[in-house]
C-alpha cells in the first residue's frame, strides 16, 4: 500500500524538486523512508473520505473556505510536504482534510480541501521579549506587523492618527472608525511600517551603527465592514481592510501577523488571558506620544465592560473583546486600529483591533473594547476570495 500511495502522490507532484525536497518519494536514508512511509500510511488510511468533486467548495477543519483540489494544485499543502519539520497541527490538517478522489485519471488521485486563503508562512514570529499608555517602549522591529495609517490633510500636510496590522503582502487590517469617523477632508493616503517615532521627520533611524528606515505604501482600496454604523455608540463591527498598490516587502522589521484560524486560538479563554497591545498614541507623558510602545493587559469577561460602560447603555456582543482595566496600562487615543495579540509558543496571533475605551486612558476597573477578529474571518476570506 505504501508503494502504491507513494507513486500516486509523486505523480501529482510531477516535480523532481518537490520529490527531492519532500523526501517521501525518493528516501535517501532509512530514517527518511520510515518517516515518510508512516506519514503516507496515515495520509492514505486513517480517515474516511467524504466524496466530493474536483474544485467543489469545502470547509477545512480550521474553518477556512476551500476547494477540493489535487495535492499538486494546493500550494498550502505543498508547503507542508516540503517542510522537513511538520508540526502535529500540519499533519492533522493533511490527515483530516481529504475530500474524495478523482476518476479523471487511470488511477484515482486523492483530493484535499485546499484553503483559498491562509496565513503567510512564518507569520507572527517576533523578537518580543517584554510584555500605549504606561507601557514599555518598543525595541525597533520588536513588533514587526504593527503599522500606522498616514492621512493627507491637505496638499502640504499629512498626519498619523491610527494603527493597522499587516496580514499579508497586500493587505492590512484596521478599525472601521479610522476611516468613517475622521474629518471628511482627511484622506487615507498610505500605510507605513518599520516605524519607530511618528514625530520624527527623518525616515531613517540610526541604532548600534545600523541604519533602519520606515517604508510606506500607497493605499489602493479600503473596505469597511458593511454593518458598521458611524454614529453607533457601541461601535459594533469596527473593522476594515486596506489593500496597497504594490506588494509589501517583508524583512526583519516587516513581518505579517498570523490570523486566528487554528482551533487552539478560537477556543482560547479570553478572561484572564494575557494580551499585548501596541500603538504610537497618547501616553501619560505627552512628549512621549509618537513613540511606539506596547503593554500586556488581561482579558476580561464581557460583563466587566458592560458594567463599566453601562452609563452609555453599551452592551458588548461576541464580536467584541473586553481587555485591560488596570491603572496606567491601556491603549489610548491614537492607538485606534492597532493590534491586540496573543503569543502561543513563538507565534503571535491577531485576536483584536483597538476600537474604543474610557475617556481617561488607563483608568482602573475601566477596560477597553476591541473588535474580535476571530468573529470576522469569514468576512475577511470572502473579501480575499472575490
The H or E element that residue 330 is part of is: none
Instruction: Provide the annotated active-site residues.
Output: 177, 238, 336
The H or E element that residue 114 is part of is: strand 109-115
Q: What is the pLDDT along the chain (386 residues), one digit of tens a residue?
A: 333 443 444 445 444 333 323 333 333 333 344 344 444 434 443 333 445 578 898 999 888 889 999 999 999 999 888 888 888 888 899 889 998 887 766 778 889 999 988 898 889 987 644 434 445 566 767 899 999 999 999 888 888 889 999 999 999 999 999 999 888 889 999 999 988 778 777 778 776 666 778 899 999 999 999 999 998 999 999 999 999 999 999 998 899 999 999 888 888 889 999 999 988 764 444 445 677 888 889 999 999 999 999 999 999 999 999 998 765 554 554 478 999 999 998 899 999 999 998 765 555 678 999 999 999 999 999 998 77
The phi, psi pair for 184, rounded to 5°, reads -60, -25
Whole-number Å distance between alpha carbons of 379 and 367: 27
Determine the 3-state secondary structure of 279 from DSSP: strand
Whole-number Å distance between alpha carbons of 314 and 305: 8
252 in Cβ contact with 141 (< 8 Å): yes
Q: How many helices (H) and strands (E) does the chain have?
A: 9, 19
Question: 347 forms bridges with which residues in the sheet?
Answer: 125, 344
Place of cell 493627507: 152
> Does the structural domain 136-384 have CATH classification 2.40.110.10?
no
Q: Structural domain boundaries of the chain?
A: 2-115, 136-384
**Please, what's the b/e burial string for 324-360 (b: 16 or more CB within 10 A of its CB; e: otherwise)?**
bbbeebbbbebbbbbbbbbbeeebbbbbbbbbbbbee
Record the cell numbers describing residue 375, joined without a space: 468573529
Amino acid at each position: 500500500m505504501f508503494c502504491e500511495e507513494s507513486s500516486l502522490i509523486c505523480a501529482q507532484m510531477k516535480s523532481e524538486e518537490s520529490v527531492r525536497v519532500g523526501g517521501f518519494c525518493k528516501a535517501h536514508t532509512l530514517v527518511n523512508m520510515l518517516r515518510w512511509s508512516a506519514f503516507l500510511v496515515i495520509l492514505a488510511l486513517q480517515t474516511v473520505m467524504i466524496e466530493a468533486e474536483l474544485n467543489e467548495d469545502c470547509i477545512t477543519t480550521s474553518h477556512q473556505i476551500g476547494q477540493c483540489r489535487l495535492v499538486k494544485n494546493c500550494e498550502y499543502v505543498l508547503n507542508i510536504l516540503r517542510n522537513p519539520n511538520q508540526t502535529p497541527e500540519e499533519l492533522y490538517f493533511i490527515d483530516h482534510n481529504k475530500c474524495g478522489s478523482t476518476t479523471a485519471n487511470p488511477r484515482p488521485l486523492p483530493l484535499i480541501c485546499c484553503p483559498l486563503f491562509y496565513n503567510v508562512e512564518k507569520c507572527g514570529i517576533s523578537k518580543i521579549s517584554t510584555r500605549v499608555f504606561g507601557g514599555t517602549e518598543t525595541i525597533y522591529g520588536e513588533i514587526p506587523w504593527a503599522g500606522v495609517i498616514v492621512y493627507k490633510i491637505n496638499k502640504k500636510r499629512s498626519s498619523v492618527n491610527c494603527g493597522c496590522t499587516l496580514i499579508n503582502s497586500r493587505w492590512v487590517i484596521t478599525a472601521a472608525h479610522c476611516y468613517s469617523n475622521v474629518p471628511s477632508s482627511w484622506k487615507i493616503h498610505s500605510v507605513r511600517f518599520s516605524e519607530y517615532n511618528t514625530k520624527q521627520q527623518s525616515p531613517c533611524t540610526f541604532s548600534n551603527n545600523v541604519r533602519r528606515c520606515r517604508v510606506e505604501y500607497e493605499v489602493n482600496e479600503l473596505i469597511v465592514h458593511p454593518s458598521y454604523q458611524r454614529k453607533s455608540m457601541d461601535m459594533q463591527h469596527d473593522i476594515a481592510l486596506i489593500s496597497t498598490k504594490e506588494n509589501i516587502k517583508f524583512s526583519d522589521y516587516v513581518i505579517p501577523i498570523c490570523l486566528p484560524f487554528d482551533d487552539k486560538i478560537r477556543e482560547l479563554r479570553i478572561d484572564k488571558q494575557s494580551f499585548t497591545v501596541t500603538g504610537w498614541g497618547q501616553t501619560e507623558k505627552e512628549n512621549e506620544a509618537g513613540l511606539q510602545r506596547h503593554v500586556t493587559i488581561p482579558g476580561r469577561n464581557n460583563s466587566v465592560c458592560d458594567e463599566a460602560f453601562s452609563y452609555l447603555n453599551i452592551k458588548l456582543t461576541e464580536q467584541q473583546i473586553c481587555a485591560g482595566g488596570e491603572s496606567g496600562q491601556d491603549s489610548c487615543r491614537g492607538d485606534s486600529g492597532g493590534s491586540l495579540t496573543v503569543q502561543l509558543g513563538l507565534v503571535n496571533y491577531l485576536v483584536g483591533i483597538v476600537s474604543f475605551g474610557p475617556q481617561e486612558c488607563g483608568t482602573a476597573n475601566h477596560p477597553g473594547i476591541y473588535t474580535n477578529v476571530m468573529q470576522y474571518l469569514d468576512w475577511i476570506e470572502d473579501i480575499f476570495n472575490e
